[in-house]
Chain A
């Protein structure tokens, strides 16, 4: 079946602009995660959704970052007023439940000029 998909695959934006990154999880997966991969920080957890609620937002680096999930499926990560330090690959993962393995999407490479 289809895996986790993310769009766009690449995004180049100017400093100060807002961006939206989309994640389509595996059908039926109730848990959804966002991670960020950058040269300086490695792989960092951002946020966890169970259904449409986010019981763990502890990894969001600032209030410029927000995420939502609708219909227990698609999720959008929004970064407002982007900064150069936001440049990274943003990875989405989904799993069948809290204790199940996480399947990762190909990521969105964000470049902030």
Chain B
């Protein structure tokens, strides 16, 4: 069964600083990988996705993520964080040939200081 680990529960960065959120997955084949963002009281918004091909994926709001098969990682990055980026970020894997669902990590809460 697939699983996702987000090792950082909470991260604080200064506005304008760079950001990297870590995500490690467990799945036997090439996974479908996603990053979602959730602002307080809101649903989940898709930032970016990886299905195949180029391992560096560009998303919305200036985010990018790199798929590294050798490290089973799909880390999310942004060169310069804005105060409006404060939210909770979820990495997810799926669906697979046998499971239709998305399996989510536990999330990383991002706080941005001015």
Chain A residues in the interface with B (C-beta under 8 A): 4, 31, 33, 35, 42-43, 45, 48, 50, 55-56, 59, 91, 93, 98-99, 101-107
Contacts and interface: CB of A to CB of B under 8 A. Distances in A.
Contacts of A50: 100
Interface in B38-52: 41-46, 49
A109 B28 CA distance: 35
A110 B55 CA distance: 39
Contacts, number: 47
Nearest to B106: A42
B102 A45 contact: yes
A106 B104 contact: no
A44 to B, nearest CB: 8
B99 interface: yes
B102 A102 contact: yes
Interface residues of B, number: 21
Contact of A98 (B41, B95, B104): B95
Contacts of A107: 43
B46 A101 contact: yes
Given A42-B106, A42-B107, A43-B90, A98 B100 contact: yes
A56 B43 contact: no
A54 to B, nearest CB: 10
B34 A55 contact: no
7 contacts: A4-B43, A33-B100, A33-B101, A56-B100, A93-B44, A101-B34, A102-B102
A45 B1 CA distance: 14
A101 B50 CA distance: 10
B103 interface: yes
Nearest to B99: A56
B58 to A, nearest CB: 15
B43 A91 contact: yes
A17 to B, nearest CB: 24
Given A56-B99, A91-B43, A104-B45, 17 more contacts: A4-B43, A33-B100, A35-B102, A42-B106, A43-B90, A43-B104, A43-B107, A45-B101, A45-B102, A50-B100, A56-B100, A91-B44, A99-B32, A101-B46, A102-B102, A105-B43, A107-B43
